[in-house]
Structure 1
Amino acid sequence: MHGCQPPGFEGELLPKLIIQIPCYNEAETLAIALSDLPRTVTGFDSVEWLIIDDGSTDETVRIAEENGVDHVVRHTSNRGLAAAFMTGIEACLARGADVIVNTDADNQYHAADLPALTLPILQERADMVVGARPISEIEHFSPVKKLLQKLGSWVVRVSSGTEVQDAPSGFRAISRNAAQRVIVFNNYTYTLETIIQAGRKNMRVVSVPVRVNGDLRPSRLVKSIPSYLKRSIFTIVRIFVIYQPARFFGIAAALLFGLGFLIGLRFLYFYLTGTGTGHIQSVILAGALMSMGFQCLLVAFLADVIAANRKLLEDIRYTQRATQGENGSFATARSSKKAEIGT
């Protein structure tokens, strides 16, 4: 197995790093991806591998076991990438991970760059680290896909208040504390939502440049550009509604009420100049738009209350998970010496 050393690391050791890989029918590529993963990384006492079998119908699990995977977590049916990611996070936390690295089974990411992902967390400069691919240099990405990747990353930066350069990247590291606070609502993918959620929760999110390997198979998330565009837009809008509902519905209310008000002023102008006859439709439209705007404003207030309640529930959930982790048999602690891990 390979060893990886982050340059210039000096500090306390963390007992455990777990590398998780969501898998769905990855028998053809998984062995290649696993052969490049490290078994030692400076800053950690142990490095373990965990795969999430998302209802595979091929030999994915057998290949994983034959190539030395430490843990296999299985879904009885295919539930999608986002669900597999969250299942992996829960499994890694239960197994005492201090840092979790997520990567893909198609060997897209250069495993030698894995220490670069964990270093900011080891240095306590970040809670989440996202690997930034050289999008412009990836040959198998079409010009349209490159443009959409950059546009999507820009939208996520604006929505999250972070400086993430490659939001769709699945090559990322997350601290135990941050993992305990993450929850994914979207069924399509976890990549955008986790960054926006981290930013809204004031976690420290940073990007580090990473390299990529040759393309082994077509992307399963990007089956077609129109489909990818539609799903990405829906995902971003949905996340925006979840995490900034007052702003979302407030903007809608302002636009509707403002448009209705302007149309009303137009009718008033014609009426005062004696040419209001025939413009009664403007009054009806203005009234309808302003009424819709007022209703959106009420929705904004209600959504803000619901969002506050959701935040309280997330805080309670985080406290419970953290307490269970501290009291559980898999809990770990920082130590300059090798820690004793409960089993």
Structure 2
Amino acid sequence: MKLIIQIPCYNEEKTLPMTIGDLPTSIPGVDEIEYLIIDDGSSDRTVEVARKLGVHHIVRFPNNRGLAKGFMAGIDACLRVGADIIVNTDGDNQYNGHDIPKLIKPILDGKAEVVVGDRQTDTIEHFSPTKKKLQRWGSGVVRRASKTNVADAPSGFRAYSREAALKLNVISEYSYTLETLIEAGRRKEAIANVPIGTNEKLRESRLFKSMWQYVRKSGSTIIRTYTMYKPLKIFLNLGFIMFLIGFIIGCRYLYFFFNGEGAGHVQSLILAAINIITGFQLGVLGLLADGIAANRRINDELLYRLKKMEYDGVVLRSQGKDEERKEDA
């Protein structure tokens, strides 16, 4: 059983030693533990520090591409070197690395495919009351959208089984946390929550400039991801609302028309027609979008199979070379 702990980094030369120092070197049930960092275009000594700390794998971007791109690049690299379990943590030492054995236990026990670390945000002292409320609200929205029981949806401290990691396909360029949960929930993957600890805040978040920017971007991610998986429901509901409004306005016009006052309410007739036509068009768009969503599910399955063949083939070839070296020795 091979565990790889991946750490997305952007100018983390000061915090990376603390992050690496907190990570476990042995866990019952795990044969190998390796570390991997994703250098997202850092301009400081992040890579040099990582090498001095003995990090096993380094993925480098020439410029900053964002958390979502870095996360997926790390997943890709972990799968290529044979990871059976992948843990994602942050380079700012936000999460307590000593909780990793607890985080991966549901996967080792075969009870979960994805495990999310619950920071219990209400207990975090440096979170403002507004941030705590928004965290609770956002997690509640994601639970409804994904049909899961995830307590802390924005948490980036997560563990993935190899199969779950192979199925990841992040489209968002902002963050992966909400999108991957909705996708996993819609695929009916087994998702578990594990209470975790957090460390003292070392720096401000670089993911967003303000709380409202975070709310706006997170909201758009939730809506877009949910719409990709349930387009027919979204468009039919919107279409029905528009049609119903048009129908009510149309009935109002007919009332006046049959009472000889129709000439003074032509605007109601126009508004009714616009709403009914818009409702019908939204219904048609829903059918088209549902066809596109079905095609996406097929593409996701094909991509999963291609990844499985490619990554498993790379791992088998690597194992074969290792055995040859042992025989030669």
TM-score range relative to shorter protein? over 0.9
Structure 1 residue 271: deviation in Å?
A: 2.3
Match of residue 304, structure 1, among 290, 297, 315: 290
Match of 1:11 in 2: none
How far apart in 2 are the matches of 1:83 and 1:214? 27
Match of 2:265 in 1: 279
Match of 1:336 in 2: none
Residues 19, 50 of structure 1: 8 Å contact kept: yes
Unaligned 5+ segments in structure 2 are none
Match of 1:117 in 2: 103
How far apart in 2 are the matches of 1:267 and 1:332? 75
Residues 19, 101 of structure 1: 8 Å contact kept: yes
SS at match of 1:39: coil
Q: How does 1:220-239 map to 2 (within 5 A)?
A: 220-239=206-225
Match of 1:315 in 2: 301
SS at match of 2:315: coil
- Correspondence 1:202 to 2:188: yes
SS at match of 1:328: helix
Match of 2:178 in 1: 192
Identical-residue share of aligned pairs (%): 49
Q: 1:332 to 1:242 in 2, by over 3 A?
A: farther
How far apart in 2 are the matches of 1:124 and 1:268? 64
SS at match of 1:41: coil
Q: 1:71 to 1:214 in 2, by over 3 A?
A: same
Q: Which runs of 4+ in 1 moved over 4 A?
A: 330-333, 340-343
Q: List per-residue Cα deviations over 1:164-192 (Å, max 9, x = no partner).
A: 00000000000000100010000000000
RMSD: 1.7
Residues 18, 49 of structure 1: 8 Å contact kept: yes
How far apart in 1 are the matches of 2:233 and 2:141? 15
Residues 96, 332 of structure 1: 8 Å contact kept: no
Match of residue 256, structure 1, among 233, 237, 242: 242
Structure with the largest fraction of helix: 2
Match of 2:116 in 1: 130
- Correspondence 1:165 to 2:151: yes
Match of 1:42 in 2: 28
Match of 2:254 in 1: 268
Match of residue 66, structure 1, among 32, 42, 52: 52
Match of 2:63 in 1: 77
Structure 1 stretch 224-233 or stretch 167-176: which is displaced more? 224-233
Match of 2:18 in 1: 32
How far apart in 1 are the matches of 2:82 and 2:265? 70
How far apart in 1 are the matches of 2:323 and 2:131? 44
How far apart in 1 are the matches of 2:324 and 2:11? 33
Between the two proteins, the alignment pairs up a number of residues equal to 323
TM-score normalised to the size of structure 2?
Answer: 0.94
Unaligned 5+ segments in structure 1 are 1-13, 334-339
Residues 95, 330 of structure 1: 8 Å contact kept: no
Structure 1 stretch 85-94 or stretch 104-113: which is displaced more? 104-113
Structure 1 residue 256: deviation in Å?
A: 1.2
TM-score normalised to the size of structure 1?
Answer: 0.91
For 1:323, give the aligned amino acid. Answer: M
Q: 1:256 to 1:312 in 2, by over 3 A?
A: same
How far apart in 1 are the matches of 2:315 and 2:214? 42
Q: List per-residue Cα deviations over 1:64-104 (Å, max 9, x = no partner).
A: 11111110001111110000000000000001000000000
